[in-house]
Amino acid sequence: MRLRRCAVLLIEPRESIGFDLDSLLAGGDGLAAGHRLLALAPHLDREVELVAGDADVLAAVPVQRWTELTVLQAAHEPAVLARLLDCGLLLSDDHTGTHWRERDERLRATGWHPHAAVAQLFGRWSDVKSGEAAQQAGYATLNELLEKLGPPPPTVGERSTAAQRMALALPPPNAFDALLRRRVTCRNFDPAAYLDNELFCTMLHRVFGAQAMLDIMPGNSVMKRNSPSGGGLHPTEAYLLVQRVQGVAPGLYHYHPVAHALEPLASPASAELGDFALRCVAAQRYLADAPVLVMLVSRFARSFWKYRNHAKAHRVVVLDAGHLSQNLYLSATELGLGAFVTAAINETAIERAFGLDPLHEGVLAVCGFGMRGNTQRDDELDPLHTVWPREADHTE
């Protein structure tokens, strides 16, 4: 048997503060600091607590070259090697830990930058309810935030005095300016209305569809979308949770941007879709009501093929989601629909439902669109009053 260390590994010293009665009785502050050493390895998808000596062994075992186990046992405690092999931080070239070795090989083949891989894989949520931690901490409202945390940094960063600033001419407003003024995050979807099929198709084609294809060489084409993408690679795809669209059965789909077609996927029962939508957006009920939820899923290998092990590659992939979501907002606004985007999502639930491997295809955000309701149940940031109150002639 031969061993090597996993490809990506970050070791984090973590401190936690707890109550210490002995300290309090001795006249101290009653607090005790606990220290742990945690290994963050993206191919494992979980934290591993290390014990004394583990880090030294991990640092000594080669990451690229396979080394005979007998050679390593001569230099390191066999029990430590066995423990690190058992938890997947060390990998073998035989049947031991085959699953972890295959995931590590996939991570290597995809071309991840180590820091980006740790940030992406360990930044995901599982069964989180958005805002719950803030409520438990007692700063769910703006007043509570101000009371507990003090004032936030200034709204605008200023680099000169008012007298030194050079005033700029305001542009004459036009139709596009009016469209931008109406662009507001929707928190009040009509939970009963069905989205018109033509509007649904228009949204998908405008935001995610291929507007043109250019053949670079046989078997290699470049896609033109209505938004920019690093290297023109467009790695971000749309996975849909359709709840209420005329002519489309409720369920899960993948949107094919070149064919402008839906690819049906195995779906929960229709009665369970609402619960799944709520789980996707981390219990943000006002977002789960949207007729269509769009999971922005990036095929990392598509981007990392060109920007291999590149420190900026993951940042460019994240920018993709921003470009697409803004186009979704503007397209929805022009069509008279509400829209949203959120990164407060339970990625692991989405991955399981759509059959995604987060080392290869990662969920960056969830968008949604559909008809607004007539009444404002939840607050929206609408300081220009371009949305509320709704017009009297609004029809469902």
State the CATH number of the domain containing residue 334.
Answer: 3.40.109.10
Task: Specify the DSSP class assigned to residue 372.
Answer: B
251 and 333 housed in the same domain: yes
Has residue 312 been placed in a domain?
yes
Residue 390 to residue 248: CA distance in whole angstroms: 28
Has residue 301 been placed in a domain?
yes
* Domain boundary, last residue among 65, 80, 110: 110
18 and 98 housed in the same domain: yes
pLDDT band at 134 (very low <50, low <70, confident <90, very high): confident
pLDDT tens digit sequence for 228-279: 999 999 999 999 999 999 999 999 999 999 999 999 999 988 889 999 999 9
Residue 36 to residue 12: CA distance in whole angstroms: 8
188 and 314 housed in the same domain: yes
Give 151's contacts (C-beta < 8 A, 6+ positions apart): none
Q: What is the biggest distance separating any 2 CA atoms in the chain, rounded to whole angstroms?
A: 82
pLDDT tens digit sequence for 154-179: 989 999 999 999 999 999 999 999 99
pLDDT band at 132 (very low <50, low <70, confident <90, very high): confident
pLDDT tens digit sequence for 312-366: 999 999 999 999 999 999 999 999 999 999 999 999 999 999 999 999 999 999 9
Three-state DSSP at 85 gives helix
pLDDT tens digit sequence for 182-237: 999 999 999 999 999 999 999 999 999 999 999 888 878 899 999 999 999 999 99
184 and 295 housed in the same domain: yes
The position carrying tokens 């048997």 is: 1
Has residue 250 been placed in a domain?
yes
What's the domain range around 234? 175-370
307 and 180 housed in the same domain: yes
Stated pTM of the model: 0.90
52 and 182 housed in the same domain: no
Helices and strands counted in the chain (H then E): 15, 14
Has residue 205 been placed in a domain?
yes
338 and 255 housed in the same domain: yes
